[in-house]
Amino acid sequence: MYAVIATGGKQYRVKVGDTLDVEKLAPADDGTVALRPVLLVGDDGDLTVGRDALAAATVRATVVEQRKGPKLTVFKYKNKTGYRNTNGHRQRLTRIRVDEITA
């Protein structure tokens, strides 16, 4: 069984046992998160899609760690004016492990 979820402005195809990095999430006290909305659930060739059919569907995951992504260099340049600007950015990420898919 697999599901397609949306979190942090991106969509991910996940199945039970997968570990993935998503944009920072705040876990509950027990270290779990419920990922919603679920956009699609597939099981042995059967697809379930649609807002009404998946209204109660959830994907439960455990937070493994909070971390930072790789450093990115942001360089801005304008021709013939001498303008150059360099900045760095590190996105805050949450590494999660998918425990359960309910549909």
Per-residue model confidence as pLDDT tens digits over 51-82: 888 888 999 999 999 999 999 999 999 999 99
Q: What is the rounded average pLDDT of the residues 7-19?
A: 95
Does residue 50 have a pLDDT over 90? Answer: no
pLDDT, mean of residues 2-15: 95
pLDDT at 30: 92
Q: Is residue 62 packed enough to be buried (19+ CB in 10 Å), middle (13-18) or exposed (0-12)?
A: middle
What pTM, to 2 d.p., does this model score? 0.83
Cα 103 to Cα 96: distance, rounded to the nearest angstrom: 20
Structure tokens belonging to residue 22: 């998503």
Per-residue pLDDT tens digits for 22-46: 999 999 999 999 998 999 999 888 8
